[in-house]
Amino acid sequence: MEDLRYIYSVARVRVLETHLLKKELFLQISGVDTLDAALRILTETASYAWDILNIRDSLGLETFINTEKQKLERLALELFVEPHLFEAYVFLRKDLLKSHVLILKTKSDFLKDFIKRFVDLYNIKTFLRMQYQRQPLETLKINLIEGGYILKAAFINLFAKERINFYPEVIKEGIAQIEKDGDFSLLEQEIGDYLINLMRPAKYMFFGPEAILGYCLAKENELGLLRLILLGKINNISPKKIQQRLIQTYA
């Protein structure tokens, strides 16, 4: 259903989307040898102010990222016409169950599907971590949340088994990596790619809150990639290793 209340907000988002960084740019900045070189490339995009050049260490980087996240949250407050959807966005990383309840109040089937899949993937990560750490079943029960397509009972029934069989097209390689050496980074990358691709149709929705949430999550993703790359430069991590951790972009 088209929600005409969002015409102005979506128009603003369409302009903002043109400033999102593309994956080619992330590959470029991750491939340079020094932090200064990476920062200079970023200033040339006109997406970030020249004060980004002041980043010299991890503390400065975290300050920059936190400031950008605060700007994004203020923007989201302006763009979301419905206050409960703004709250849902804010709680998505802080209190997923509350975010789920709030999003279910919307009339958007797209957003309802998104949050259900988000909950599923949260529960899958929780399941795999608990299983790898050999946590007791009761701990798993406490940490799983309701609201996804996959019932909590399904996770509980599978906990004693060796392999989970949900979303195999998404997490197959990540599970293999966990079984090999306990590294969850590939799983996180696969889930990040999936969520970005799940939201991508929102770029073509002109009436409603979908485009707003899509942009906000895309910007969060961009900041996460910047943090990964610049922290790698600060700690002299090789470009190859950094590039292996890059996920898809929304742009």
| CA diameter of the chain | 54
Tell me, what's the pLDDT at 250?
58
Q: Answer yes or no: is 250 within a domain.
A: no
Tokens 């969520």 locate to: 195
Among the listed ranges 12-26, 111-125, 236-250, which one has the minimum average pLDDT value? Answer: 236-250
> Dihedral, CA atoms, 204, 209, 210, 215, nearest 10 degrees?
80
Look up residue 95 and give its two tokens: 């209190």
Residue 249 lies in a domain: no
pTM attached to this predicted model: 0.91
Asked if residue 76 is part of any domain, the answer here is yes
pLDDT bucket at 243, cuts 50 / 70 / 90: confident
Supply the pLDDT for residue 17.
94
User: How many domains, in total, are found in the chain?
Assistant: 1
Residue 53 lies in a domain: yes
Helices within 133-234 (DSSP H only): 137-143, 152-158, 168-181, 185-199, 210-234
Query: Would residue 74 count as lying in a domain?
Result: yes
For residues 119 and 102, the answer to whether their CB atoms sit within 8 Å is no
pLDDT at 139 over 90: yes
Apex 152 CA angle, 148 and 158, nearest 5 = 120
CA atoms of 176 and 188, how far apart (whole Å): 13
Q: For the ranges 4-13, 109-118, 157-166, 211-220, which has the lowest average pLDDT?
A: 157-166
Inside any domain, residue 160: yes
Model confidence at 1: pLDDT above 60: no
Cα–Cα nearest to 204, from 42, 40, 17: 17
The count of other CB atoms within 10 Å of the CB of residue 195 is: 19
Q: Name the band, by pLDDT with cuts 50, 70 and 90, for residue 249.
A: low
Determine, yes or no, domain membership for 118: yes
Residue 80 structural domain: 4-244
CA 72 to each of CA 60, 185, 216: distance values in angstroms, whole numbers, following the listed order: 19, 26, 7
Q: Check pLDDT > 90 for residue 145.
A: yes
* CA 144 centroid distance within chain: 19
Q: Is residue 251 part of a domain?
A: no
Q: What is the mean pLDDT of the chain?
A: 91
The mean per-residue pLDDT over the stretch 75-82 comes to: 96
Structure tokens at 177: 């990596």
Give every CB contact of residue 56 below 8 A, 6+ residues apart in sequence. 35
